[in-house]
Amino acid sequence: MDPLSWLLVLGAGVLAGTVNTIVGAGTLLTFPLLVALGVPPLTANVSNTVGLVPGSVTGAWGYRRELAGTWPTVARMAALSAVGGVAGGLLLLAAPAATFTAVVPWLLVLAAGLAAAQPRVAAWVRRRAGEEPAEGPADQPGAARPAERLDGSTRPLTPGLAAGIAATGVYGGYFGAAQGVLLISLLGIGWTTHLHRANGAKNVLAGTANLVSAAVFVVGGAVDWRIAGFVAVGSAVGGVLGSRIGRRIPAPALRGLIVVVALAAAVALWLRP
């Protein structure tokens, strides 16, 4: 690739890191660009996955205040995401011709619907479990949280949510486009009505799936390190920017953005050759 192409890859990495941190779907920016620049799809996919890991780290760090007091649960969810990510990465290397793209757009449409209805669906889930739903003041961006106590907006990890996180990890390790949209919809309904906390956890879980699948790809020798390096630098910057922007977006506006991105991602995957 020529210098202009590398500059485009770097810029796409910044945008992808920003979008991934705010809502998730950055792969839909970097992956098509790499393919358009002549990179083989499998190489583009695995190199992009490796490159987006730093953006997940910086994005998750930016949401550390929203996750105060929840780290034991987030760690358990991250372990499930890691198991799924390894499985997805191995699946991609073993059968790269196979694809989830026939199903994924429909999953994204479902995620958009769930995100739009998240407060009502989450309240229904909590009523079924005999819990009191609460969104409350903790849903404000940047609200401080005591490490020793959680309010009623956040519930324990359930078997159903655990299974959903593991399955999303498989998808994240395999391809990962809009993995974050699926995760934030699951977390917003099954774990916490505090949307900014769900967003922070989404960054940790998606980053974990990317990290472990990236390790699989490195061992498999399928990474183009120049591409991964340019995407990594850009995504790290984007992760910082995205956490600063995302934490200032009011929860209703963030919910609307999730819906728009999910539907746009579904259309993009339907139109993809």
The per-residue pLDDT for range 3-23, each reduced to its tens digit, is 999 999 999 999 999 988 988
Average pLDDT over residues 159-166: 95
pLDDT tens-digit series, residues 40-51 = 888 888 899 899
Q: Is 154 helix (H, G, I), strand (E, B) or coil?
A: strand
What's the pLDDT at 109? 83
- Report pLDDT digits (tens) over 185-239: 889 888 988 888 988 999 999 999 989 998 998 888 878 999 999 999 999 999 9
Tens of pLDDT, residue by residue over 64-87, are 998 988 999 999 999 999 999 999
For residue 203, what are the domain limits? Answer: 3-271
- Asked if residue 138 has pLDDT above 60, the reply is no
User: How many structural domains compose the chain?
Assistant: 1
**pLDDT tier for residue 249 given thresholds of 50, 70 and 90:** confident
What DSSP string runs through 120-132?
Answer: HHHHHHHHHTT--
- Which segments within 167-221 are labelled E, that is strand? none
CA atoms 238, 171, 178, 74: torsion sign: negative
Gap between the Cα atoms of 49 and 231, Å rounded:
9
8 Å CB contact between 153 and 139: yes
Q: Say which amino acid occupies 183.
A: L
C-alpha distances (whole Å) from 149 to each of 139, 215, 251 are 15, 35, 22
Q: What is the number of alpha carbons within 13 Å of residue 89 lying toward its C-beta?
A: 27
Instruction: Name the 3-class secondary structure at 144.
Output: coil
Query: Which residues, other chains included, contact 173 with Cβ-Cβ below 8 Å and sequence gap of 6+?
Result: 49, 84, 85, 86, 87, 88, 89, 90, 91, 92, 209, 210, 212, 213, 216
Average pLDDT in the 91-109 region? 70
Compute the Cα dihedral for 224, 184, 22, 202 and give only its sign.
negative
Handedness of CA 94, 100, 101, 104 (dihedral sign): negative
Average pLDDT, the chain: 82
User: How far is Cα 35 from Cα 43, in angstroms, rounded to an integer?
Assistant: 9
The two structure tokens encoding residue 159: 């078997």
Percent of the chain having pLDDT more than 90? Answer: 36
Nearest to 63 by CA among 222, 213, 244: 244
Look at phi and psi of residue 259 and say left if phi exceeds 0, alpha if psi is from -120 to 50, else beta. Answer: alpha
| Residue 76, C-beta contacts closer than 8 angstroms, at least 6 positions apart | 157, 162
Is 247's pLDDT higher than 90?
no
Q: What is the pLDDT of residue 122?
A: 65
Residue 180: band (very low, low, confident or very high) from pLDDT cuts 50, 70, 90: confident
pLDDT band (50, 70, 90) for residue 28: confident
Beta bridge partners of 154: 192
Answer yes or no: are the C-beta atoms of 24 and 261 closer than 8 Å.
Answer: yes
Q: What's the CA gap between 174 and 98, in Å, rounded?
A: 10
**Residue 126 pLDDT:** 64
| Three-state secondary-structure class, residue 92 | helix
Global pTM? Answer: 0.79
